[in-house]
Each structure stands twice: as C-alpha cells, then as structure tokens.
Amino acid sequence: MSTNIQQSSTDIPVCATLITQTGPALLIDSASARVQLALLRPDKDALWETQTGEAGTAIFSCAEKLLARASLKIDGVAAFVFCDGPGSVLGIRTAAVALRAWRVLRERPVYSYCSLALAARFLAKTENARNLSLIADARRDTWHHVGIDAEGSVSALRRVPTAELNGALAMPEHFRNWTPLPPDVRVTPYALETMLPALAGEPLFTPAPEPDAFLHEEPVYQTWTPRIHQAG
C-alpha cells in the first residue's frame, strides 16, 4: 500500500523570502553521496561548497570553508535549511544532529525540504517535464516517489512497490540504491547551485523545529518484558 505525505500549508518561498526575513541561512543537503552546502545571504550571491564522501566529514568540512569565506562564525548564521529526505538516512541524520547541536549555542529557525519534490519542480520548470516519476530507493523492493503529471503539477511524496512503478522514471544523480533499478531509469542532475536559483519563489521549505530524517511512518518496536529464566 502506498503512503502519501501531504505538503504543509506553512511552506514558504525558497531563498529570497527566507533570507530577507532572517539573514544568512546555512543550507545542508546530505541526501546523496555528493554533500552540498550553501550560505544564502541577503543582497549577496550564495556561497557553495560540495564534497563527495562520508557525510560526517563532508558536512563539517564544507561548513568550515563556507564560514571562513564569509568571515562568519556559526553564531552569525540566522537560520538553517536542510534536506530531510528521501536519500541517505545516515547522511541526513548527521546533518540533523549538527543542526541540533548548533541550536544549543543559539536558538534559530530550521526549515526542511524534500529532495524529490525539489528535483521534480526543477525538471517541470526548466525542461517542461511531464508524466515523469522521480524515485529514490526506499529498500525492501519499494521506492520513494514524486510524480509530475500532464499539467506539470508535482504530486505528494509517497512510497510504492517496484511492481507499481510505470511510465518514464528518473532518479537524482549520486543517490545510492540497494534495490535493483527498474529498467530504463534516467539519471537526472542534482546540483542545488543550479536548481535553487531556478526555483526562486517556489514553496519548497517547511518549518522543522525538530530536525530529523523524513520517515513515511514512525518505526514500531516490540516491547521486551524481562523474566527470570526458570529451569524446566
């Protein structure tokens, strides 16, 4: 069964409105093997740093470089933006832990966005993509899915089994997969430095007061009741 995630009514426009209201914002995207960070600044060009590799190293290395280039300390960042998925759960949770730690130093707003929705909006706007499904591995023979319909509208994020995938398919570049890819999947670029400026004014960011990786549903745990072993 597919699980739908509804878009929040509190989504706000990307980049321009956010940084005008808050000041410099640090963006972190560790959903793929290519970690991407940006410092979004009012009235100035955004600064970008990217690094391919382990998120636990890349996030902090890129952040340090960005702040140094802007002659800014982490306390000077007014807001945070991060990709909460789909993508590498370990990478995203590493970013979430970093954000929670930095907010201990100073309370600041955090916003999240969906990787597949961003990619779908970009393709619909810049390539006039229609009737296309963006997918990312959800494991256990299922896929995270966002669709672009015949009118160019982007659907809500849902999870679907491989057997239910049909039509034209695309997966963002540098996204890992463990489930074998369906036939004829197109790889589409996932370069935020190009994508975000093209989507200025689009409602991509959602307030995320408790940064964490996106989950379709909360995990269910078995209750363990301790009992003293008795010999039979």
CATH value at residue 108: 3.30.420.40
| 67 lies in the same domain as 49 | yes
What span, in angstroms and rounded, lies between the C-alpha atoms of 227 and 232?
14
Q: Is the same domain home to 98 and 144?
A: no
User: Is the pLDDT assigned to residue 16 strictly greater than 80?
Assistant: no
167, 151: one domain: yes
Q: Is the pLDDT of residue 30 over 90?
A: yes
pTM for the full predicted model: 0.86
Range(s) of the domain holding residue 7: 3-114+190-207
Integer Rg of the chain from CA:
19
* Separation CA 214–CA 144 (nearest Å): 11
Question: For the residues 16-20, what does the mean pLDDT come to?
Answer: 59
- Same domain? For 79 and 109 the reply is yes
Tens digit of each residue's pLDDT (9 = 90 or more) over 117-151: 999 999 999 999 999 999 999 988 999 999 999 99
Residue 61 inside a domain? The answer is yes
Residue with tokens 């007061």: 209
The identity of residue 31, as a single letter, is: A
Lowest-pLDDT choice from 19-23, 135-139, 143-147, 211-215: 19-23
**pLDDT over 90 percentage in the chain:** 72
Q: What is the pLDDT of residues 46-90, one digit of tens each?
A: 899 999 999 999 999 999 999 999 999 999 999 999 999 999 999
For 119, how many CA atoms within 13 A lie in the half-sphere containing its CB? 33
Quote the pLDDT of residue 5: 35
Q: Could you tell me if residue 217 is inside a domain? A: no
In the chain, how many domains are there?
Answer: 2
Residues 163 and 199 in one domain: no
Tokens of 127: 């390539």
pLDDT at 177: 94
Task: Report, as an integer, the average pLDDT of 214-221.
Answer: 58
